[in-house]
């Protein structure tokens, strides 16, 4: 079995799914024991991912992990490093770059390293970029052919080329247009506007991110989920944001209705997910991730890392 130390957690989740199906709402998508076991494993995989972010932040992170021109650079630990050193602007900036570029399974953070690290010629920090975004955008255009790696699978329509529909310069311009010169102040203002509830603030910010070019449903969700994981704002998703979703919505329809293309509105699906989370207690970030990955291979567990 994969991850033997998680066997008890996997069994607990499978039992909770069966009990929910029997006593709260039928779950025809996991009537097959193989499908039930596969979904339970996807929940375990998603919970492990959450634990990973927590573990990254528990230990002191060394500076070389935050240097994109060092072989030991690690994007997740780099964010933790900046948080630990109270450079919240740089931490948020790196979260934005991580979300926009994303990480394909084969080349990892190579594209992020090349862009953020200026291909060995110095780091494009938030302080530098926010003071002169055109200089950064021009550098990206001039080096677009030399920048290695690629965009992540969910960001495959993004481009570094000038004049393209989703060119990097325009994405950056709309991002800075939204957050201004201080991302920290942007988040602080959002908290003042939305109140004290983490899910309400998350939703408020989710809608504000409509202003960022190419930040669709998944990018907005991923960006804000990372901001919350690192404690950069007091937010967490209270919804799976199924409107406009493909994978998570298909997974929810498969689970509750027995088929990925069954008819059900996002509103009803969300209500059923809220019910289910009262049985599982995993939260909507895990729920969204696990269902998305499960529907890709419902009877055979595949560990999706990208």
> Taking the CB of residue 260, how many other CB atoms lie within 10 A of it?
17
For residue 305, the model assigns a pLDDT of 76
Q: What is the mean pLDDT of the chain?
A: 96
Give the model confidence (pLDDT) of 282-302 as tens digits: 999 999 999 999 999 999 999
Q: Is the pLDDT of residue 2 over 90?
A: no
For residue 266, the model assigns a pLDDT of 96
306 — pLDDT class (breaks 50, 70, 90): low
Gap between the Cα atoms of 158 and 151, Å rounded = 7
Q: Is the pLDDT of residue 1 over 80?
A: no
Give the model confidence (pLDDT) of 27-48 as tens digits: 999 999 999 999 999 999 999 9
Instruction: Give 68-71 contacts, CB < 8 A, sequence gap 24+.
Output: 68/112, 68/113, 68/116, 68/117, 68/123, 69/113, 69/117, 69/118, 69/120, 69/123
CB 147 within 8 A of CB 160: yes
For residue 66, the model assigns a pLDDT of 98
Rg of the chain on CA atoms, in Å: 20
Give the model confidence (pLDDT) of 71-104 as tens digits: 999 999 999 999 999 999 999 999 999 999 999 9
For residue 91, the model assigns a pLDDT of 98
Residues near 52 by Cβ (< 8 Å), separated by ≥ 6? 76
Give the model confidence (pLDDT) of 132-180 as tens digits: 999 999 999 999 999 999 999 989 999 999 999 999 999 999 999 999 9
Look up residue 243 and give its two tokens.
């409107």
Look up residue 22 and give its two tokens.
């029997």
In the chain, count of helices (H) and strands (E)?
14, 0
pTM tops 0.85, yes or no: yes
CB 35 within 8 A of CB 300: no
Q: Give the chain as a 3 state SS string.
A: CCCHHHHHHHHHHHHHHHHHHHHCCCCHHHCCHHHHHHHHHHHHHHHHHHHHHHHHHHCCCCHHHHCCCCCCCCHHHHHHHHHHCCCHHHHHHHHHHHHHHCCCCCCCCHHHHHHHCHHHCCCCCHHHHHHCHHHHHHHHHHCCCCCCCCCCHHHCCCECCCCCCCEHHHHHHHHHHHHCCCHHHHHHHHHHHHCCCHHHHHHHHHHHHHHCCCCCHHHHHHHHHHHHHCCCCCCCCCCCCCCCCCHHHHHHHHHHHCCCCCCCCHHHHHHHHHHHHHHHCCCHHHHHHHHHHHCCCCCCCCCCCC
């Amino acid at each position: 079995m994969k991850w033997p130390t998680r066997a008890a957690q996997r069994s607990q989740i499978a039992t909770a799914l069966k009990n929910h199906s029997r006593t709260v709402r039928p779950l025809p998508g996991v009537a097959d024991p193989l499908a039930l076991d596969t979904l339970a494993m996807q929940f375990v995989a998603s919970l492990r991912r959450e634990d990973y972010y927590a573990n990254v932040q528990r230990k002191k992170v060394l500076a070389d992990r935050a240097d994109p021109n060092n072989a030991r650079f690690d994007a997740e630990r780099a964010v933790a490093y900046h948080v630990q050193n109270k450079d919240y602007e740089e931490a948020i900036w790196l979260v934005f770059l991580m979300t926009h570029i994303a990480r394909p399974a084969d080349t990892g953070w190579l594209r992020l390293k090349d862009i953020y690290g200026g291909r060995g010629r110095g780091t494009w920090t938030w302080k530098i970029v926010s003071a002169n975004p055109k200089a950064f955008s021009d550098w990206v255009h001039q080096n677009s052919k030399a920048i290695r790696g690629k965009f992540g699978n969910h960001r495959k329509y993004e481009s570094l080329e000038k004049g393209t529909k989703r060119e990097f310069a325009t994405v950056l311009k709309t991002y800075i247009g939204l957050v201004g010169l201080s991302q920290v102040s942007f988040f602080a203002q959002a908290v003042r506007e939305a109140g004290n509830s983490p899910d309400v603030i998350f939703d408020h910010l989710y809608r504000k991110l409509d202003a960022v070019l190419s930040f669709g449903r998944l990018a907005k969700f991923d960006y804000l989920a990372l901001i919350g994981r690192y404690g950069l704002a007091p937010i967490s998703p209270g919804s799976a944001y199924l409107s406009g979703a493909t994978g998570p919505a298909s997974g929810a329809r498969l689970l509750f209705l027995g088929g990925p293309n069954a008819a059900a509105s996002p509103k009803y699906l969300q209500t059923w997910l809220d019910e289910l989370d009262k049985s599982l207690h995993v939260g909507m970030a895990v729920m969204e991730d696990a269902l998305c990955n499960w529907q890709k291979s419902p009877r055979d567990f595949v560990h999706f890392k990208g």
